[in-house]
């Protein structure tokens, strides 16, 4: 390890390359604020400042090149990028652009830092002073541009001295020789806390040689990083339960679920992917494997929609779009690998039948509040057994001899009725159940249009704080228990197009229904709902809740029918 100041890293004879597999620049305002504050403190106190450790690997350089020292950054690109943008803005504000070039450009007249393919255009446009409107608009959501704008707005040249910073800032460097195992180092860094996505690690693993660049450009880049919109889609964060991942990692998880026969988890996805690739001798058929991944990626992008809860649901039955609401609105992403398998291998008619049956199966179990913990094993079994028709799927679900069947039963109609009358649901589940029922129950020419799921709020019709304005005529332990149980039932819940004002939501029934002349009530925000026809109800009580429970149970058994 060597102590290295800025001018020891960015030298005239060196080109530092950020490999194309590396992630984009991801620092944000918290990092920039701290960095700028620290730079000001260094200048005020004239003290050394440790910027951390970097790791670079030596690469071959052409004997004809002016640049004899070519290195790739294994760890350090976030700080290197920030340093160059910071100093560029500082020197620019000081009208000393040439001094910046003297420090950070090599003898070939190039920026010493060659960025990855994700950020190279915007980075070089900034550093070369070519940030035209077209480039700015193209990269308006890019973190490199945001860093430049932040420093441009916040650097105070009265508090900063470029010479002091160049003399006081230092790294500790680790230089890796050409013959050392870069992948092992990369994996070790990752295990120590530099958390890269599975996709980033997999890119490094698949495209580890210069000879792979054309294959990368023709396959991975074309599919996942073709333009800003494409990259934004695959980088989009999706949440299931307490876990957050992005679309590309969800795709890779699904792909491995389809092809790899061993058990693995999302936490071990990259290592499991490496094991799978080595087992099938991927180096001899890399193009075929990439083509297969891309074929599933196209299906994923065309059918799996993590933004579905913000979009209007048009389909009323048997569609992957309805299942998307279950995936992402009701946290059941374990179904995605099997659904992709069906999309790839089943004909259109069977796809429709299977998706309709899966909705029925999942929603009936959700109404009954039955566990989903065995779903992963069950859907994996569907893939292993190549279940691609509705008849085969029904046989799997109804076959009590299957290993997962004990916890995979389809609820019958009586169990649905009993559950609606006896079981409460979380607000998220109740909202999803009512929304999917509402969208399926509407006639094509209904007076109001269904909105996106996230445009609705869930409301307890008899408020949870019912004691204030919904007092019981007779107070007894039995009556109190019965009242509290009814408040939590599905029949006492509805979706609304807007939250009721606090003054209304706990008010007595007539005010909650019609409003108080200032704030609007259910007549405004629940008007037109098929699943809640309240207009002629003069008093909302346990009896009305039971009547609606019966209506909802009938709708559930009718729409999600098993007959």
Pair 396, 420 in one domain: no
Last residue of a domain, one of 252, 281, 303: 303
Pair 191, 255 in one domain: no
Pair 144, 266 in one domain: no
What pLDDT is attached to residue 164? 95
What pLDDT is attached to residue 146? 96
What pLDDT is attached to residue 400? 62
Pair 342, 320 in one domain: yes
What pLDDT is attached to residue 194? 46
Pair 62, 190 in one domain: yes
For residue 203, being part of any structural domain is answered with no
Last residue of a domain, one of 408, 434, 469: 408
Tens digit of each residue's pLDDT (9 = 90 or more) over 420-457: 999 999 999 999 999 999 999 887 655 567 899 999 99
For residue 393, being part of any structural domain is answered with yes
Pair 185, 326 in one domain: no
Pair 299, 317 in one domain: no
Largest CA distance in the chain: 96
For residue 207, being part of any structural domain is answered with no
Angstrom distance (rounded) from CA 12 to CA 188:
31
Q: Which residues of the chain have pLDDT under 50?
A: 192-194
DSSP for 94-158, please give it. Answer: TT-HHHHHHHHB-TTSSBSEE--TTTHHHHHHHHTT---HHHHHHTTT-HHHHHHHHHHHH--GG
Q: Please report, for the chain, how many H helices and E strands are present, in that order.
A: 28, 10
For residue 520, being part of any structural domain is answered with yes
Pair 513, 427 in one domain: yes
Q: pTM for the full model?
A: 0.74
For residue 221, being part of any structural domain is answered with no
CB 151, CB 32: distance < 8 Å? yes
Pair 315, 379 in one domain: yes
Pair 162, 37 in one domain: yes
For residue 201, being part of any structural domain is answered with no
Pair 275, 314 in one domain: no
For residue 464, being part of any structural domain is answered with yes
Tens digit of each residue's pLDDT (9 = 90 or more) over 378-417: 999 999 999 999 999 999 998 766 665 667 899 999 999 9
Pair 548, 468 in one domain: yes
Tell which residue, 313, 320, 256, 312, has the closest CA to residue 282: 256
For residue 185, being part of any structural domain is answered with yes
Domain extent at residue 26: 2-196
Report the domain count for the chain: 4
Last residue of a domain, one of 255, 284, 303: 303
What pLDDT is attached to residue 407? 73
Which residues are CB-neighbours of 315 under 8 A, at least 6 positions away? 321, 322
């Amino acid at each position: 390890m060597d102590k290295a100041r800025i001018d020891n890293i960015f030298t005239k004879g060196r080109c530092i390359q950020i490999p194309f597999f590396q992630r984009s620049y991801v620092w944000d305002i918290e990092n920039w604020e701290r960095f700028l504050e620290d730079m000001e403190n260094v200048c005020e106190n004239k003290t050394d400042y440790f910027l951390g450790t970097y790791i670079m690997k030596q690469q071959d350089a052409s004997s004809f090149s002016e640049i004899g020292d070519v290195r790739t950054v294994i760890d350090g690109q976030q700080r290197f990028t920030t340093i160059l943008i910071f100093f560029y803005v500082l020197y620019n504000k000081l009208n000393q652009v040439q001094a910046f070039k003297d420090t950070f450009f090599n003898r070939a007249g190039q920026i010493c830092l060659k960025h990855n393919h994700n950020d190279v255009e915007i980075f070089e446009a900034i550093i070369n002073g070519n940030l035209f409107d077209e480039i700015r608009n193209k990269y308006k959501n890019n973190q490199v541009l945001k860093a430049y704008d932040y420093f441009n707005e916040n650097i105070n040249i009265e508090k900063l001295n470029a010479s002091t910073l160049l003399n006081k800032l230092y790294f500790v460097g680790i230089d890796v020789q050409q013959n050392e195992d870069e992948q092992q180092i990369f994996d070790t860094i990752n295990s120590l806390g530099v958390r890269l996505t599975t996709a980033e690690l997999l890119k490094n693993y698949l495209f580890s040689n210069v000879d792979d660049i054309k294959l990368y450009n023709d396959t991975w880049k074309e599919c996942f990083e073709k333009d800003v919109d494409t990259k934004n889609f695959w980088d989009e964060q999706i949440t299931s339960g307490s876990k957050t991942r992005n679309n590309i990692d969800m795709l890779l998880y699904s792909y491995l679920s389809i092809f790899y026969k061993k058990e693995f988890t999302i936490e071990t996805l990259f290592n499991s992917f490496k094991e799978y690739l080595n087992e099938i001798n991927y180096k001899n058929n890399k193009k075929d494997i990439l083509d297969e991944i891309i074929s599933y990626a196209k299906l994923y992008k065309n059918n799996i929609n993590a933004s579905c809860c913000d979009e209007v649901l048009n389909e009323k039955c048997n569609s992957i779009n309805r299942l998307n609401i279950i995936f992402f609105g009701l946290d059941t992403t374990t179904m995605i690998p099997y659904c992709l398998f069906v999309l790839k291998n089943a004909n259109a008619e069977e796809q429709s039948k299977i998706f309709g049956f899966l909705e029925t199966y999942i929603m009936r179990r959700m109404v009954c509040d039955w566990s989903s913990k065995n779903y992963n094993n069950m859907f994996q079994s569907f893939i292993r057994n190549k279940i691609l028709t509705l008849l085969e799927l029904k046989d799997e679900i109804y076959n009590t001899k299957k290993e997962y069947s004990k916890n995979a039963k389809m609820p019958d109609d009586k169990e649905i009725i009993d559950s609606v009358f006896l079981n409460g649901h979380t607000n998220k589940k109740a909202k999803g159940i009512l929304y999917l029922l509402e969208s399926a129950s509407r006639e094509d020419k209904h007076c109001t249009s269904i909105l996106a799921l996230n445009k609705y709020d869930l409301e307890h019709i008899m408020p949870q704080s019912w004691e204030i304005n919904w007092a019981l005529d007779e107070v007894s332990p039995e009556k109190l228990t019965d009242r509290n149980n009814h408040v939590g039932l599905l029949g006492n819940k509805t979706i609304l197009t807007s939250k009721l004002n606090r003054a209304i939501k706990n008010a007595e029934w007539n005010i909650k229904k019609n409003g108080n002349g200032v704030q609007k009530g259910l007549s405004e925000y629940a008007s037109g709902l098929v699943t809640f026809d309240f207009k002629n109800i003069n008093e909302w009580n346990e009896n009305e809740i039971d009547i609606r429970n019966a209506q909802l149970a009938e709708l559930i058994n009718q729409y999600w029918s098993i007959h």
